[in-house]
Amino acid sequence: MSAMINNHNGAAEGPSRHHPLRFGGLQHSDSMDLEDSCRELVVVHQRPMRWGPDALKDNRNNKGTAFSLRERQSLGIHGLLPPVVSTPEIQEQRALRNIRGQSNDLDRFIQLMDLQDRNEKLFYRVICNNLEEMMPIVYTPTVGLACQRYGLIYRRPRGLFITKHDKGHVADILAAWPEQNVKAIVVTDGERILGLGDLGSYGMGIPVGKLALYTAIAGVQPSQCLPIMVDVGTNNQTLLDDPLYLGLREKRDNSALYDQLIDELMQAAVARYGQNCLIQFEDFGNHNAFRFLEKYRDKYCTFNDDIQGTASVAVAGILASLKITGKKLKENTFLFQGAGEASLGIAKLLVAAMEAEGSMTSEARKRIWLIDSKGLICKGRPSGGITHHKEPFAHEHQPMDNLGQIVQDIKPTTLIGAAAIAGVFTQQIIEDMASFNEHPVIFALSNPTSKAECTAEQAYKYTKGKCVFASGSPFPAYKLPDGRVLHPGQGNNSYIFPGVALGVVLFGVRHISDDMFLQAAKCLASLVTSEHLKDGRVYPPLQQVRDVSLKLATKIAEYAYEANVASRYPQPNNIQEFVRSRMYDFTYDSFEPLFYDWPKAK
């Protein structure tokens, strides 16, 4: 009987052939005679693990200085690390000190990415235990700057880059990805990154960041996540002229080849990973985002976070705000500064929510007004430009193009910004909102912070603390003259898309309906307590977002079974406990050898 150890490919090999296992002065050899020994030492590792120096390069399993003495001996790395065996808590403190010691958030972002490259579990420990501090660094607003500087901070490949020149070979590129069990893909073409515009291949930072949140916030296994950048060029002349740009140095291709490439990607992903593989579209241009959603939603397991995720988190905040304003949803008048993916997604989901309350579709739409780059969307507008997506919200009204005048004329109860026009909610507009609403609802949802329509301080100051405020990027708490402290809600999509994704992945949902996002919005709104509302919050504190994701995934599963769209059977008796048991755990695995006593052969 020979001692066996799993190598990094998962195959069993005899350690005495390549790397005899030594514990103190004991060396185990295949020549040991079972007849002559009272017992045999059999060494088994709990999961495949690399051996020797390679063990320290495997970021999924590397524990750094937290490897115990026995682990170091059994893995052949004794002497390759300092002698102190650290606890995970000490490692977290060390990492936090390094991160906090940086002079700016971009350097903190780089520190976090370097940590992920070295020690994946410590990376997620640091994020999960310090979510409110780390979220603005690992995602918005810092991720926007990281995308802009992508060519300078690039360290190692993360995900797959597929270019227009790879048409016909997308399946071969997917085959190069080492993970066999991918359950979630986030794909972008980089055309509309946050509020920053066309960043070409530098948009890869968004899928990478989104999938990091899949794991940190919802516990989707990192090995099951795949970021993909589809590079068809960029219309950003600054990038095209930059010798350090890492993407295709060509103008963006909007020909039929582009559609064919996306089709090929969808087919190749399903062919390799199965029909249940979730494919999330992220930061595509408006003209492509809507049509791809309509084209693929009934054929693949897919959603667009800019349209549906943003809509869900915004509607959740609006539903929670009703507990403050005392109004029913259908009693509100909504005015959107912007008529792109986010605004139209929110508007459509609001209509669905009002329909669920008993409103007719036509009545619900009349409560919603949108402003685009040409002014108020209304019937007979001389400037035209009303696409079929905007047309349902074109009402009878005289054409207007000044936001302040439109606010005074329509007198909305809720003002929502999602057009990335910084400072467009002026002092006069905010004061006007407070003049005809006891509790005006003001959502400045544009990202990053530099593109916000107004700050939390401005909204609270100009309404004398009367408004219900939420933003896309984080803002600090604001202290009112009377001593009250208000904590602005961050309408961050991370409250929604990770939990929805977890539910979809775990329960094999093949098609994702808008109603799922409405259910997610209602679930999120239900988690806002009276204490949260007193603090000015319309979302739970960000530190609770993992528990939010657990409840959202549970709700998605319950809905999926009721709607007969789940494919995991039998249905778990306790769905929430099942979800909890499948969430990623950043606790280190043990690689200490297990000793088994074998009876002496007779």
Q: Which residues are catalytic?
A: 139, 210
Q: Which tokens sit at 74?
A: 């059994």
Encoded amino acid at 591, one letter: F
Strand (E) positions, 202-341? 225-231, 278-281, 302-304, 334-337
3-state helix, strand, coil in the chain (%, to 5): 45, 10, 45
Cβ–Cβ < 8 Å for 170, 162: yes
Helix H or strand E encompassing 376: strand 375-376
What single letter denotes the amino acid at residue 369? W
Specify whether the CB–CB gap between 234 and 220 falls below 8 A: no
Q: What angle do CA 168, 173, 178 make, to 5 degrees?
A: 155
**Beta-sheet pairing, 594-595 with 43-44:** antiparallel
Do residues 479 and 528 lie in contact, with contact meaning Cβ atoms separated by under 8 Å? no
Identity of the amino acid at 177: W
Q: Is the dihedral of CA 580, 581, 585, 588 positive or negative?
A: positive
Helix (H, G, I), strand (E, B) or coil at 87: coil
Q: Which of 337, 225, 326, 322 is nearest to 282 (CA)?
A: 225
- CA separation, residue 148 to residues 200, 402, 475 (Å): 10, 32, 22
Residue 498 in contact with residue 470, Cβ under 8 Å?
A: no
DSSP class of residue 378 equals B
Locate 429 and state its tokens.
């507009």
Where b means 16+ CB within 10 Å and e means fewer, 403-433 reads beebbeebebbbbbbbbbbeebbbeebbebb
Q: What's the full length of the chain, in residues? A: 602
CA dihedral 96, 98, 101, 102 (to 10 degrees): -110
φ/ψ of 303, rounded to 5, equals -155, 165
